[in-house]
Structure 1
Amino acid sequence: MATTKRRGRRPAGEDTRAAMLAAAREMFAELGYEGATVRAIAERAGVDAAMVNHWFGGKQGLFAQAVLQLPFDPVQLFTHIFESGPVEELGERIVRTFLTRWDESGGGAFAALIRSVAGHEQVAAALRHLFLEQMFTKLAERVSSDQLQFRASLCASQVVGMGMVRYVAKFEPLASAEREEVVAAVAPTLQRYLTGDLDPAG
């Protein structure tokens, strides 16, 4: 008599990541952010729930990528930015990385991101988690010893503000400025936010 094998867990890899994203999109659409649990999403994707933390840093990170459909993995991007050069050039690498990714889509990726946030607190919370917890706070922890959350929020304000002016409001001449011109102008400020003295008396 033939027996039906129980489906095993999906092995780790890009196929696993794609399956989790697909399952998350379905369940967030069906149940909303609160109703869709990590365990249920993992079960639908055929993976262990621990893989959600491994790939996305938790439920909010998964929500950000599945629903916002960001064109990058925040954990991988953070690692690449930090490890690809000296700390003294970290601000420059951050600005160049984001401009490059957003310019490649003609600014459409950033504009879509902002539209998805408007009026949706769950999406906004996921975006805050992505930029503050998954990226800038972790960067600040590696290069600074004080005011980590303040530094992270300043960095996020600089990057998001730059995107708003360049791709959404399209203020000239910033909107059409050459990428390296913007990098040279913005990077020193971002570098100060990460590693400089923020004491107004300093």
Structure 2
Amino acid sequence: MNGSAEETANGSAPKKRGRPARTSTAQGPGARDRILTAARAEFAERGYDRASIRAIAKGASVDPALVHHYFGTKEQVFAAAVEVAFAPALSASDTLLAGGPDGVGERLARFILGMYENPATRDPLLAIVRSAVTNETAATVLRNLVTSKLMIRIASELDVPDPELRSELATAQIVGTVLLRYVIKAEPLASADVEKVIVMVAPAVQRHLTGEG
């Protein structure tokens, strides 16, 4: 029999499993960034349930195997995309705490709602909330990120009793406002001036975090 046993009937070598080949379109940090960008777009357009690794790979112009190589499962891709979308909030925790406990509720409410008011950050953040409402896996990812990496850190730094409970109550106040205003679009909240909303929400967030209204 002519040719190697490793060759297929048409003479080409079979594909090997494992780490994908590094090509001009799939190398290093550039490919990883493209995958995250494509993932945010895919989750924003289709939601968590309908999004797929194959579609994300197509949007990033890479092989699906490379998506798995960098991130693993769809849940892990979603978690990475969520963390990137929330990066400004996560990096701003020190700033939010800089003024001490006084006014932290207003600073937090203003910052988070401001992210949803900003057209540049609104769509990926809304995609995250919509996915969390309809899928438990997405909800768990969002809950773990917001609660453990942002809210509980803030509550802990304030040196208050029951920081985890306080952080979750504050999260519920803000996420509930986001859900009703930007996703469900319940009136009159959806069309109310954002400054008015902040002024009304901030005391509840403050009370949850510090026990002070």
1:95 matched residue in structure 2? 109
TM-score, with normalisation over the residues of structure 1?
0.63
Q: 1:177 to 1:115 in 2, by over 3 A?
A: same
Answering whether residue 141 of structure 2 is matched by residue 126 of structure 1, we say yes
> How far off its partner does 1:193 sit?
0.6
TM-aligned CA distance change 1:153 to 1:181, over 3 Å: same
For residue 104 of structure 1, the aligned residue among 107, 118, 121 is 118
CA drift of 1:94 comes to: 0.6
Q: Structure 1: any 5+ residue segments left out of the alignment? A: 1-14, 31-35, 45-59, 198-202
**Uncovered stretches (5+) of structure 2, i.e. residues with no partner:** 1-27, 40-51, 55-64
After TM superposition, give the deviation of residue 196 of structure 1 in Å. Answer: 0.7
Root mean square deviation, CA, Å: 3.5
AA of the residue aligned to 1:41:
Y
Cα 1:77/1:22, change in 2 over 3 Å: farther
1:68-87 maps to which residues of 2 (within 5 A)? Answer: 70=85, 72-83=87-98, 85-87=99-101
Q: Does 1:41 align with 2:83?
A: no
Contact map agreement 1:102 1:109 (CA 8 A) in 2: no
Aligned to 1:155: 170
- In terms of mean alpha carbon deviation, does 69-78 or 182-191 score higher? 69-78
Q: Is the 8 A contact 1:117 1:124 kept in 2?
A: yes
CA distance in 2, matches of 1:194, 1:67: 24
Counterpart of 1:186 in structure 2 is 201
C-alpha spacing 1:19/1:89, structure 2 compared with 1 (3 Å)? farther
Secondary structure, aligned partner of 1:135: helix
Q: Compare CA radii of gyration and give the structure with the larger one.
A: 2
Q: SS in structure 2 opposite 1:114?
A: helix
How far residue 162 of structure 1 moved from its aligned partner, in angstroms, is: 0.4
Identity across the alignment (%): 29
Q: Give yes or no for contact 1:165–1:174 (8 Å, CA) kept in 2.
A: yes
Partner Cα separation in structure 2 for residue 72 and residue 138 of structure 1:
15
Post-superposition Cα deviations, 1:40-87, rounded to whole Å, max 9, x if no partner, equal 538x9xxxxxxxxxxxxxxx998434257525344303223222x342
In structure 1, C-alpha distance between the alignment counterparts of 2:174 and 2:112, rounded to whole Å: 8
Residues 119 and 165 (structure 1 numbering): CA distance in 2 closer, same or farther, change over 3 Å?
A: closer
Question: Deviation digits for residues 10-45 of structure 1, max 9, x if unmatched?
Answer: xxxxx96x765556778x937xxxxx9xxx538x9x
What is the aligned partner in structure 2 of residue 175 from structure 1?
190
Distance 1:87 1:20, change over 3 A: farther
**8 Å Cα contact 1:61/1:129 also seen in 2:** no
Amino acid at match of 2:70: I
| SS of alignment partner, residue 171 of structure 1 | coil
